[in-house]
Structure 1
Amino acid sequence: MAQTALAESDTGPSLTELARRHGLSKAGRLPSLPEYTRHLWSYRHFIAAFANAKVSASLGSTRLGVIWQVLTPLINAGVYYVIFGVLINTKQGVDNFIAYLCAGVFIFGFTQSVVQAGTHSITANLAMIRALHFPRASLPISICLVEVRNMVASIVVLIAIVLVSGEPLTLEWLLLLPALLLQSIFNAGLALFVARLVSKATDLRQLIPYIMRIWMYGSAVLYPVTFFSNRLSGWQLAAIEANPLLIFIELVRHSLMENIELAQPAGLLWIQALIWTVVVGLGGYVYFWRGEKGYGRG
């Protein structure tokens, strides 16, 4: 009898085969990228609910609530107009400097808010990460959804400013939608990238404000884009003109305003925006996915 049982065990399926047959996998295994993406998609309702909860919490923390999402860029634009437009007189060469400045401040602020919130998306939710099993990319992506909702209110105000300042309503305004869509995907990639980076080296969070400030100065937010072409040449000018935030800002200005000088032809700007969106959006997603098993440890 013992010899028969031993023979059956020798010819029966192995433990590995039994685990595979019943859908079991190794604990702690990093899922493949397609598998991770399907898993993330299955949590889309959780992502939306988490984003809604973040919005509700932020609105309840102040009396003015969502109004601050509009007041903040407006106050910044007002301060920058006085300092750069009036005192330093950078408005020369731009017929409608108010709309030009506001477009730069609002669009740059969109990315800036996503990056700053993305640095906290993992470290601020460690308790939930350690207690529950879900794809961690849900957290940075939900942050992006929150900022997209905030940006909608800001865009309404930006459009009002552009119209009041004298810009005509044209068919080119429709280009605003694809420009913001590309920037939103770009922002999501950035959020995923900084979320993993800061989760491993939290001190980097202190550098983010300085990095964003330098990035703003290199994105023609506060002065005409001709400021660079009049002072730089060769690879330096090419590097500035390849700046993704400068490209997105230029596309929005091109869609809302007439008679403005662009850093490059509009067609080339769209091609560069698409390339940056794919590289940063997909690259940030892959980079975050590679660290999936390490979030919340240590």
Structure 2
Amino acid sequence: MSKVLDAPPRPPAPVTPAPALAPEDDLAALAARHGLTVSGARPSLPEYIRQLWARRHFITAFSTAKLTAQYSKARLGQVWQVLTPLLNAAVYYLIFGVLLQTKRGVPDYVPFLVTGVFIWTFSQSSILAGTRAISGNLGLVRALHFPRAALPISFCLQQLQQLLFSMAALVVILLVFGVPVAASWLLAVPALVLQFTFNAGVSMVMARLGAKTPDIAQLMPFVLRTWMYVSGVMWSIDHLLSSHDDLPSWVGPLLQANPAAIYIDLMRFALIDSFTAAQLPSHVWLLATGWAVLAGVGGFIYFWKAEETYGRG
């Protein structure tokens, strides 16, 4: 018994030191070696474009579904796609054409006005929809992995489809008011392609801004309304400049370089025979292409740079 009590205590077991944490660079190399990547990391620009092209069928299907559902609860259904811009044109004709007499000196004023309203509505609706593309679809953004640029592009495609429905009514109006069918109508195709590119670029810029600051969506209707009033939708820029010599010298070039006015007047030039090339600014196709490239490419890159932030927070 005493031997047990007098036995010396056992030395403590040696403690194995914890392994030192690997430096951050070593962890990154380890993750790369095993094929691990950061969740939601922004891909390179060429890879992003490839992913977007691979989902082109999703973009078209999503835009068509949105267009079909837009008036699904209305009794007249898809007829509102044509009635809405026509009613807007009727209101503008009453206020501007009759009361304010902006139709003076403008031949074929009804086709002139309806064309302007339809083309402006295309840009306005695309930009408004783009502003809410991310903030209004957070459930979709957070649930599925896809290039987020697909959303503003699909909304612009939806508005293009709606414009094509309206163009059928526009053709009828042109014929009723004596505007003949002409080969120049084919120019409407490149004009719409350039306008769509411009709209998509601006929509992607607004989508990124709207994702970070949702209040922008409440401000945009006022900004767009102001833009509409200076874009010659209801009045002729050429007639204004020729009849008001007292305007500051910078007003004319500024009004004529306005991208919305350029695309509206290009469509008028294509469809209305009384709207001649003399009423267009110099190098109009170059201006239209420049705005499309600047907005389309610049807006796409600006949106892509914040790809990993959408739906976070």
- TM norm structure 1: 0.90
Contact (CA 8 Å) 2:179, 2:272: kept in 1 or not? yes
Give the match for residue 256 of structure 1: 271
Any gaps of 5 or more consecutive residues in structure 2?
A: 1-25
The aligned length equals: 285
Query: Which one-letter code corresponds to 2:223 in the other structure?
Result: I
RMSD value over aligned CA atoms?
A: 1.9
Match of 2:251 in 1: 236
Which digits, 9 at most, give the CA deviation of each residue in 1:103-123, with x for residues without a partner? 100100111111111122111
**8 A Cα contact 1:250 1:263, kept in partner:** no
**Alpha-carbon distance, 1:265 to partner:** 4.3
Show the counterpart of 2:109: 97
Matched, 1:157 2:169: yes
Aligned partner (choices 43, 49, 52) of residue 40 of structure 1: 52
**Mapping 1:1-298, distance limit 5 Å:** 20=32, 24-225=36-237, 226-231=239-244, 232-260=247-275, 265=280, 268-298=283-313
Unaligned runs of 5+ in 1: 1-13
Output the amino acid matched with 2:292.
T
Distance of aligned partners of 1:55 and 1:260 in 2 relative to their CA distance in 1, 3 Å threshold: closer
Give per-residue Cα distances to partners, 1:186-224, cap 9 Å, x unaligned.
111111111111111111111111111111111111111
AA paired with 1:161? I
Q: Residue 63 and residue 258 in structure 1: after superposition, are their counterparts in 2 closer, same or farther (change >3 A)?
A: same
Q: Is the 2:265–2:280 Cα contact (8 Å) retained in structure 1? A: no
Q: Residues 231 and 258 of structure 2 are in contact (CA less than 8 Å); yes or no, is this contact kept in structure 1? A: yes
Is the 2:112–2:268 contact (alpha carbons within 8 Å) kept by the matching residues of 1? Answer: yes
Cα 1:217–1:262 shift into 2, 3 Å: farther
Q: Provide the C-alpha distance between the structure 2 equivalents of 1:208 and 1:263, rounded to a whole number of angstroms.
A: 33
- For the 8 Å contact 2:188–2:267, the answer to whether it is kept is yes
Determine which structure has the larger helix proportion and give its number: 1
AA at the equivalent of 1:296 = G
User: Offset at 1:44?
Assistant: 1.4
| Paired residue secondary structure (2:106) | coil
Matched residues in 1 for 2:281 and 2:270: separation?
Answer: 10
| 2:106 partner letter | V
Q: 1:91 touches 1:223 (CA, 8 Å); kept in 2?
A: yes
Q: In the TM superposition, what is the alpha-carbon distance from 1:263 to its structure 2 partner? A: 7.0
Q: Is the 8 A contact 1:176 1:255 kept in 2?
A: yes
Change in Cα spacing, 1:24 to 1:229, as seen in structure 2 (3 Å) is farther
* Greater C-alpha radius of gyration: 2
Superposition deviation, residue 162 in structure 1? 1.0
The 1-side partners of 2:281 and 2:258 are apart by 15
**Distance in structure 2 (CA, Å) of the matches to 1:261 and 1:184:** 23
The code of the aligned residue for 1:227 comes to L
